[in-house]
Structure 1
């Protein structure tokens, strides 16, 4: 019987093969313009895993077995449509489809736009049709350029650069305080005590549909804006079902070259750790974590799981569920010079630094979207991120007054764990043909801890090569704990009313009114336990890699050392911040002619920001309050020169708030520099202007040129203070500054080949040239702050600004047998010199020097289920250098190489 069954299956297969495959194919067009084909429409067979997209000419084709199917067509800006078809054996079923445009067309400014976009060409079409000046980077471009997180993705956008060694972004030369970050249009809190924005490296591209970058201001955005707003749009599942698993491994060439890769003991490999303050306070040695490093194998790993499912509810409703979990681990090592010098070039501290590091991220996301009916949708998003950074640093060399024979050693172990919780509820509702309602609310929490940062300072006896503890100050040997909790509630609601109906049933104008609210609280506390070495132990030799042999309960009981804090108690240093923003806004969008559309907006914001502190610099405690109303106008115009080209113009007024820690009188100590807050810091006012020409030769091609200018009153900069410890603070350094620049971008298909012309060689290039200048006034600084400093120069560029930014990529794409593909990309990124901090008292400015990097990315689909990926990044491994531009010649104060990063991954879709 079994043999008969196999013979039957074989016979059926032969007959089917002989008859040829069955297909469903056709062309998708706009219902109102039959000649306008729609590229990259999502086409799926309901109840199956079969799906495709239309090509750039609107054509599609799906191989199927004979049977009955429900074909679903979905496309942003158009109503989803379904067709029932029966396909016979060997039949080539033709199914053309005309899609009806949704009422919320792309030529309007949508207050909370949450579009589902992944393909590069679809995002370019949206960019072309919107009145706003936006740039996007989506999932398809993430894959092509081999970026693994939001920070790396955004750094590929014209005019944006990333600070080396962090996820901090510079938009048009303006740093963290001038930018803002949102998730699905709603604000998200920062994970860093020193930063306004969350580290974008926390967001893996697995959870991102696309990223939208607004470089111009419109009235529906919060007014604390000058550089840009970066909006991360989370993935929104569109198919019928999905289950995919991906695993990978990565190595850093510097890390694997170390025969003994050492990290501090205690933190877990997965980045989830539980620390607490020492038991029994200052009366015993109650620290549970060892000071001795441990060896590990520096090979990183990654794993991710993605799943999605859609359910039809009745004739019109649909529920879509999507979840993803991701874990990623990376090891790095760097070695090089790290020093601070005086205005005369004399060393204050000069080290050969070795840094061992291990970073992990664990991310979980779930979203549920309910399409109640066409034009009405509710969506819930939950996001959890656990990000851990572990660093083991060794500094060997010169320490003034401690080790002036280049015989000093500082060992520093740092562990930082951040947890982010995001909850969002969003709604879009079409009430009728004229009225639409959009709303959203979120509750977000960030918890960040630096538990038990350790630092020990030693001096070597050069004749015996033995080490003893440095005893100049009690803080030379310490353990430090800090904790930050930030809670943020945000709410947004807007109503858009269309007017000026035309004879063809469209509307020339839209009037929108809305409210935005943001309510943020931050609580920060830190305590440092200083170890004072007894005088009779100052010559006791110690092993730098076995400090537990000295710092233990027995030696504490024998008074070989004692423990104290800045106030002699366990009461921590603290600061807290409150920020409340209520905003009302109104915009009018009007199409004056077939070619010209404009948006005028006005926003009123009531701001309250209060910072309180009690620290070692102010043991009594104090506070600083800013309470003001801001009126922010904006205007945007778009003129369609042709069907494929636009001219855009925009102008606006905004402001820049100082951040909590910048205003709190708190000291954060690094080994070679110290940062201290400035309670006298106050907001800047910003004036922005843009003029842009763009041309779209094909749906996936663009050429654009943008000129922009910014005028900033009372700009804020980081300034090196007059101190022996290289202190840096945040100061309004002058009355005004300006930035002017040009941005150029081109995306072009160089060659198409193959039967369907789907195989391509394409290239992309974007460049930004920027000139910034600000007037500096020492008199202004002395009059407005407690700092009696003399700035070295009377004018400078903005801190963080690079004159030239460049991104280029060349890609080869080949597809065959419908389910096999190969994609190779070579990418290059370059940024010119960037001002890190202003100099004072004849010290030169600190400048990060120009750097460029090459990446190679390869991705291949072996079948419709299996894929491989490989990347080699930072192939030329250039030196990262910072110089102090003293009179005479620049002095290098920081120099190291990051090594080459290799990764290999495989994914399987069930």
Structure 2
């Protein structure tokens, strides 16, 4: 009987199906070169029938035979309708190409977007997400004239870029509290002193959008408290194209110099030979000149983008995208810098000049193959070569070295070359309506070389220059090599459950695993000049040192080299300082997303990580060598709640626990000497635990507008700081400086169409600001108990280093489009208030970087369908950047300089 009923039901179902036809097709974005528009809504007017396009813009819908009106819609785009007639058993194709408009947000169910380069798409993603997130896309980057990822991230709420580097501070928390990834997979650092890679290495040419997570979710590694920056690389689908661009750039300070003096023998393109001499103690093997050369300080850039899609079979598609670019920049800074004691007496007091030259060569290739709408595999290859060259000159008073009436002269020539290679393989597989598998794997390498850093120090007497000889390190050549490779992987299985009447699901359960395995090899060699009597009291020309510090002088015995281990008579003298690091993190996680009702949704997650870090060293501080290992198991719960008051208003809450690891160089017993002092590692350093809480309100008046207000708080146990330790030489090290610290504040974001003349002619404005307070305990006794050195903090409490109370960005844009032409002009202003640079100790006050503002103007126009022009003017206010040491009895200016204005012109042509 049961079998008969089953057969009758099956026959009835088949008979109904046989009366239906099939409608299929593709939905494209006409504003993005007919790229696929994912998750557009396809519905039948007057019925409840409908579906959504997949990630490739494809859709398929079963319809009863007869006449129908098909509606294609997508939030922020014009709706298109088509009348069709379909017969039973017939398969009919109907495609649509949608254009964007200024339609207000309504209750259209959209789960994701295909092209997140657009501001409207990213706001939609932010609106619909169950987690708190913030994004900046290629469209906004272009409008604001942003050329690298570090500058891009600094345009988002509560983020500050550290001047002179690609490091960022998120909500007052610096490098150690942040994390960087690309397409969800981690990227190694290019700097042995930093956890994160310098974001200014990444050209925005490779970026579709950048996601900044300030709240924690289980898919992210737990070494995170400030922000997680995920760079989503560009890809392509649709019609083939080729775009070429060329441009130039000048810095107002640089072009004013009669001579722009840089190092000799460094490659103009940023590719230099970086080998350390094998035995310079016995044979003079240095090939780089000590003399400087003059360069014309005019920067340039050129690059191309290209892409093409190929259909393979009935459902397959291969999408290819490639980009390559080169740019160089010149900068010049002139000002003053000094070091002072607690009583105000100067130990160094310099007038400074710094000539800088930087290059960036970037190439990326991206291939995505879709076997069908349910299965996609992608490969990303990214190559970046960045170089930074500087000539720093310091003239003035140096206690014990050049403390006469005429003072002294110190020059340091520095060159750093970073080469990054990223390989990523990514996959998405829709196993059925409810199960989806995502996975990714990467192998990344970074090579960072500092070859032949040159430092020479002189005292001046009666206008003549004489080498200082207080220490052999006064004059030296230094080589540093960092090689790091990392393998990382992730896999996650999603299961949808709780199907609703609208055919969507109420919940999703995710189970995943991710890991990263890092190996690091670092070595450094310094060759110090031991000057003989022939050079000790002989006047020299500091701009023609090749005349005296050369092979002939070496062979004549005018000078010799020695290392920290001794001179050429010792077999071990050439042994470099080294450390090796290994780190492995294995994490399993689970998370449940659930819609409790149409207004309330939640994400509950738990991640468990096993962390192991080992470091071995052999340095001047420990000639025998040693190693240090620690392991940690971390349980990291997290919660996100969303209350949708209506289609335009969201209230959100996020809470989580994370941790902060010390870095390799911070834990290795290694001494690193800078012009301003020496830094050494601390094997007794240990991780911090972090507790995070966010409350946020979002209001979306229209598809391209937002008002949001966020309150956040972070509590950090055993925070880590860079400190001046108690020693005769005032060395710098790292320690857990207190039992606790916290950061709390509010963030405001506004994007608004101020005047809308029509859909293609408007004036828009944006403002984001963050006001925060940070506080931490400084416990000298704790430092003494837990470490092999002591500290004597001037104050018992302080703000976090790098944390500004107020950070603000504002912009105003004019946009006009007609036919194949457009005009876009943006003026933007950024402000950052005072922030601590370094903590005071031994009665010295904190060093504080004073607040300043910058003003930029960006103009872009499309002169024809194929030709575009861009003009940028940046740092128009050219403020003084000042640092003050706030001693107990007075504030003393210890650093001041200007960066100069920058002007650039670019042309691009699309074939």
The normalised TM-score by structure 2 is 0.89
Q: Is the 8 Å Cα contact of residues 113 and 125 (structure 2) preserved in structure 1?
A: no
Deviation, structure 1 residue 32? 5.0
Q: Which residue of 2 aligns with 1:170?
A: 169
Q: Secondary structure at the match of 2:486?
A: strand
Q: Give me the whole-angstrom Cα distance separating, in 1, the residues matched to 2:734 and 2:45.
A: 59
2:767 to 742, 765, 781: 765
1:630 lines up with 2:641 in the alignment: no
Q: Secondary structure at the match of 2:265?
A: coil
Query: Alpha carbons of 1:56 and 1:603: their partners in 2 closer, same or farther (altered >3 Å)?
Result: closer
Deviation, structure 1 residue 59? 2.3
Deviation, structure 1 residue 347? 1.1
Q: Give me the whole-angstrom Cα distance separating, in 2, the residues matched to 1:877 and 1:691.
A: 37
Q: Give me the whole-angstrom Cα distance separating, in 2, the residues matched to 1:403 and 1:826.
A: 47
Query: Alpha carbons of 1:536 and 1:114: their partners in 2 closer, same or farther (altered >3 Å)?
Result: farther
1:734 lines up with 2:735 in the alignment: no
Unmatched 5+ stretches in structure 1: 1-23, 45-52, 62-80, 86-92, 97-104, 108-112
* CA deviation string 1:27-68 (max 9, x = no partner): 9972359799999x9999xxxxxxxx999752289xxxxxxx
Query: Alpha carbons of 1:614 and 1:33: their partners in 2 closer, same or farther (altered >3 Å)?
Result: farther
Q: Give me the whole-angstrom Cα distance separating, in 2, the residues matched to 1:367 and 1:728.
A: 44
1:715 lines up with 2:714 in the alignment: no
Q: Which residue of 1 aligns with 2:395?
A: 396
Deviation, structure 1 residue 83? 3.6
1:30 lines up with 2:33 in the alignment: no
1:445-484 to 2 correspondences below 5 Å: 445-461=445-461, 463=462, 465-484=463-482
Deviation, structure 1 residue 408? 0.7
Q: Which residue of 2 aligns with 1:682?
A: 686
Q: Give me the whole-angstrom Cα distance separating, in 1, the residues matched to 2:290 and 2:761.
A: 57
Q: Is the 8 Å Cα contact of residues 43 and 54 (structure 1) preserved in structure 2?
A: no
1:442 lines up with 2:433 in the alignment: no
1:418-567 to 2 correspondences below 5 Å: 418-461=418-461, 463=462, 465-567=463-565
* CA deviation string 1:66-107 (max 9, x = no partner): xxxxxxxxxxxxxxx97469xxxxxxx9999xxxxxxxx865
Aligned positions, number: 834
Q: Is the 8 Å Cα contact of residues 77 and 98 (structure 2) preserved in structure 1?
A: no
Query: Alpha carbons of 1:723 and 1:848: their partners in 2 closer, same or farther (altered >3 Å)?
Result: farther
Q: Secondary structure at the match of 2:188?
A: coil
Q: Give me the whole-angstrom Cα distance separating, in 2, the residues matched to 1:275 and 1:370.
A: 39
1:750 lines up with 2:754 in the alignment: yes
Q: Is the 8 Å Cα contact of residues 723 and 838 (structure 2) preserved in structure 1?
A: yes
Q: Which residue of 1 aligns with 2:203?
A: 204
1:374 lines up with 2:385 in the alignment: no
Q: Which residue of 1 aligns with 2:12?
A: none
Q: Secondary structure at the match of 1:365?
A: strand
Q: Give me the whole-angstrom Cα distance separating, in 1, the residues matched to 2:93 and 2:530.
A: 76
1:784-803 to 2 correspondences below 5 Å: 784-803=786-805
Deviation, structure 1 residue 864? 1.1
Q: Give me the whole-angstrom Cα distance separating, in 2, the residues matched to 1:320 and 1:29.
A: 21
Query: Alpha carbons of 1:857 and 1:37: their partners in 2 closer, same or farther (altered >3 Å)?
Result: farther
Q: Give me the whole-angstrom Cα distance separating, in 2, the residues matched to 1:536 and 1:84.
A: 86
Q: Secondary structure at the match of 1:548?
A: helix
Deviation, structure 1 residue 275? 2.5
Query: Alpha carbons of 1:275 and 1:727: their partners in 2 closer, same or farther (altered >3 Å)?
Result: same
* CA deviation string 1:328-373 (max 9, x = no partner): 1000000111221111111111211110010000000000001221
Query: Alpha carbons of 1:266 and 1:726: their partners in 2 closer, same or farther (altered >3 Å)?
Result: farther
Q: Which residue of 2 aligns with 1:70?
A: none
1:239-254 to 2 correspondences below 5 Å: 239-254=238-253
Query: Alpha carbons of 1:860 and 1:726: their partners in 2 closer, same or farther (altered >3 Å)?
Result: farther
1:739-888 to 2 correspondences below 5 Å: 739-753=743-757, 756-816=758-818, 818-888=819-889
Q: Is the 8 Å Cα contact of residues 416 and 451 (structure 1) preserved in structure 2?
A: yes
Q: Which residue of 2 aligns with 1:77?
A: none
Q: Is the 8 Å Cα contact of residues 43 and 51 (structure 2) preserved in structure 1?
A: no
Q: Which residue of 1 aligns with 2:895?
A: 894
RMSD: 2.5
The normalised TM-score by structure 1 is 0.89
Q: Give me the whole-angstrom Cα distance separating, in 2, the residues matched to 1:274 and 1:437.
A: 45
Q: Is the 8 Å Cα contact of residues 422 and 442 (structure 1) preserved in structure 2?
A: yes
Q: Give me the whole-angstrom Cα distance separating, in 1, the residues matched to 2:318 and 2:57.
A: 18
Q: Give me the whole-angstrom Cα distance separating, in 1, the residues matched to 2:647 and 2:319.
A: 36
1:603-622 to 2 correspondences below 5 Å: 603-622=607-626
* CA deviation string 1:824-849 (max 9, x = no partner): 00000111111111111101111111
* CA deviation string 1:712-748 (max 9, x = no partner): 0000112123456553222110000111110000000
Q: Which residue of 2 aligns with 1:73?
A: none
Q: Which moved more, 1:281-290 or 1:222-231?
A: 281-290
Query: Alpha carbons of 1:802 and 1:54: their partners in 2 closer, same or farther (altered >3 Å)?
Result: farther
Q: Give me the whole-angstrom Cα distance separating, in 2, the residues matched to 1:60 and 1:650.
A: 36
Q: Give me the whole-angstrom Cα distance separating, in 1, the residues matched to 2:175 and 2:880.
A: 24
Q: Give me the whole-angstrom Cα distance separating, in 2, the residues matched to 1:899 and 1:750.
A: 32
Q: Which residue of 2 aligns with 1:411?
A: 411
Q: Give me the whole-angstrom Cα distance separating, in 1, the residues matched to 2:285 and 2:408.
A: 28
* CA deviation string 1:542-568 (max 9, x = no partner): 100000111111111121111000113
1:350-389 to 2 correspondences below 5 Å: 350-389=349-388
Q: Is the 8 Å Cα contact of residues 320 and 368 (structure 2) preserved in structure 1?
A: yes
Deviation, structure 1 residue 239? 2.4
2:672 to 668, 671, 694: 668
Query: Alpha carbons of 1:327 and 1:909: their partners in 2 closer, same or farther (altered >3 Å)?
Result: same
Query: Alpha carbons of 1:795 and 1:707: their partners in 2 closer, same or farther (altered >3 Å)?
Result: same
Query: Alpha carbons of 1:82 and 1:443: their partners in 2 closer, same or farther (altered >3 Å)?
Result: farther
Q: Is the 8 Å Cα contact of residues 247 and 906 (structure 1) preserved in structure 2?
A: yes
Q: Give me the whole-angstrom Cα distance separating, in 1, the residues matched to 2:710 and 2:729.
A: 43
Q: Is the 8 Å Cα contact of residues 338 and 672 (structure 1) preserved in structure 2?
A: no
Q: Which moved more, 1:727-736 or 1:162-171?
A: 727-736
Q: Give me the whole-angstrom Cα distance separating, in 1, the residues matched to 2:679 and 2:882.
A: 20
Q: Secondary structure at the match of 1:730?
A: strand
Q: Secondary structure at the match of 1:787?
A: coil
Unmatched 5+ stretches in structure 2: 1-33, 59-71, 81-91, 101-108, 567-572
Query: Alpha carbons of 1:319 and 1:209: their partners in 2 closer, same or farther (altered >3 Å)?
Result: same
Q: Give me the whole-angstrom Cα distance separating, in 1, the residues matched to 2:369 and 2:400.
A: 67
1:598 to 590, 602, 605: 602
Deviation, structure 1 residue 671? 1.4
Q: Give me the whole-angstrom Cα distance separating, in 2, the residues matched to 1:238 and 1:847.
A: 49
Q: Secondary structure at the match of 1:642?
A: coil
* CA deviation string 1:234-289 (max 9, x = no partner): 00112211100000000000000001001010111100111322354311221000
* CA deviation string 1:166-209 (max 9, x = no partner): 11011110000000000000001000111100100011110000
